[in-house]
Amino acid sequence: MNVVWRKEWINEYESPWSVFEKLALVNLTDRNEILKVLGSTHVKNIKHHIGDNQRELLQLNGFNVERLHQTLDFNLQEHNNKIIHSLITPFSELYSSWEHWFHPDLHWCSQCMEGGFHSWLHQFRLFDECVFHDLKLNHVCPGCRSAIPFLLSNRQLKHAFQCKCGHAFSNFHVSSWNEWRSPDQMNPDVLRWLQANQASMMTSNMQSKWIIHAEHCNLKRLVKESPEAIKVFHSDDSLHRGDYFSNRFQKELLRVISGTVQRVVERLFQDSLQNHQHCITQLMELRKSNEAIEFPEICPFAYAYVFWRKSILKEEHFYGYNSLRTTLISDAEPLIIRDLLEYFSDQVFSYQMKILQRLDARILFWILEKLVMQFSENFFCTWLEIAGKRSKEISVPSWQEIEKMRDQSFPSVAFKYNFDESSSSSSIEYYHLSKNESILNKFECPYQHESAKADIQSMISYMPQKVAMLIMNNPSDENKMLQKTVETYVKKLNF
């Protein structure tokens, strides 16, 4: 086959996806044909169905790499490796395989696509906007809402740059090659970040690492900001590998996390909840004026606090605790973000093992405190957002909805861990995207007038255990009625 191609058609940071679309366009061919011509011996011997792992674009496993190099007059594999490394090296060893870092479906920028350009930086999970145009990326066809697999495959595509449904991502014809262009300029912050990665790849001893969670890291925005905090740790008597897994250390970890939640509670009572202590007592102690009437209206701030606390600590009931104190004492009361914290801990731990062969617990605790603090505050605001409506309805979200609220509240963060070998000190940079919207003034508390505090003080607490005792002593109709009211009320507010 005589292939029409010029190596100038391949741009910096371009992904093989648009390279092959261009190849298909100018040669009036499709993706299966390309794979047949440029495929490995193994692929050529496949008679019928060529599977997806021969079509993948990260390693180009299904290709005869030499043939591909000759045909394109360009080493596409090396080009791929270089870009992928500069994107993922800063997170060294976070995932064992490349696939984790890139979306399995095509993500693209409509403006870049107009020039026939698709980039690895669109496909990379940590960017949700085009780093050239700041536009939100597409991940489904605007015509039929289908996802396009990031593969060399005809499955969801018709002609070059065209979806099966007929929607054209770009209006090209066979001789459009002179309309192809790469975007002019990359976002300067991202460019700086990329260049720094490339530079540190040159030096053999990698001494910094980014610690992140792919779902909670808007990298493009995070690298723009300067760190919110930087903390330097000088070397210290640190712990051994086995200590990390010991019960003693895990208890210490729990103590640190628990202490941080308690600090958030204290901060909430100093600021937003200052005037709602009595409202919280009323709800947490199930107080009302007498056994015959309904429970009084719930103050939205009390609602937010009580259910924030129940969900964050995974407490069994919302009532009956000391409103000002929280303790996570055992595995029986795990924090709602325990999995995420373990995920971050493990990264810190494995990096420290790599560079120090020891564990510096101070660094780990500092990072976890930041995460718990920020999450807890965000999560409180998320509860507050629904508190107005829900407190009037006397209802709570389902556990599934609460998990969604949790994911939404986990902050977009990144920690850059720098290790200086000569002084054997570490500095940790903390990056965090703040939301900065105050919703505290949106709600009104029904108990702010002078007499309200005294009223609540004089109310009687009707906790389920106490009501059960009442019935044991006197199984009257009134008491049974009371028990029913309490049970219904508690049930409505249970999750």
Residues that bind Zn ion (CB under 5 A): 109, 111-112, 130, 132-133, 141, 143-144, 163, 165, 167, 276, 279, 299, 301, 445, 447
301 versus 383: smaller Cβ distance to Zn ion: 301
Measured CA to CA, the distance from residue 101 to residue 94 in angstroms comes to: 10
Q: How far is the CB of 127 from Zn ion (least distance, A)?
A: 11
Can you spell out the DSSP letters for 268-279? HHHTTTTT-HHH
What residues form DSSP beta bridges with 149? 105
Q: How far is the CB of 144 from Zn ion (least distance, A)?
A: 3
184 versus 437: smaller Cβ distance to Zn ion: 184
Q: How far is the CB of 98 from Zn ion (least distance, A)?
A: 23
136: closest CA among 118, 115, 117, 110?
110
Q: How far is the CB of 299 from Zn ion (least distance, A)?
A: 3
Three-state DSSP class for residue 121: helix
Q: How far is the CB of 150 from Zn ion (least distance, A)?
A: 16
37 versus 445: smaller Cβ distance to Zn ion: 445
Give Cβ neighbours of residue 227 (< 8 Å, ≥ 6 apart): 416, 429, 430, 431
Burial class of 166 by CB neighbour count within 10 A (0 to 12, 13 to 18, 19+): exposed
Tokens, residue 310: 């129940």
Buried b (16+ CB within 10 A) or exposed e, 320-350: ebebeebebeeeeeebbbeebbeebbebbbe
Three-state DSSP class for residue 23: helix
Q: How far is the CB of 15 from Zn ion (least distance, A)?
A: 13
158 versus 224: smaller Cβ distance to Zn ion: 158
Other CB atoms within 10 A of residue 79 CB: 19
116 versus 411: smaller Cβ distance to Zn ion: 116
Q: Which amino acid is at 418?
A: N
CA 116, 121, 127: angle at the middle one, nearest 5? 125
Q: How far is the CB of 140 from Zn ion (least distance, A)?
A: 8
Strand pairing class (413-420; 425-432) = antiparallel
121 versus 328: smaller Cβ distance to Zn ion: 121
284 versus 363: smaller Cβ distance to Zn ion: 284
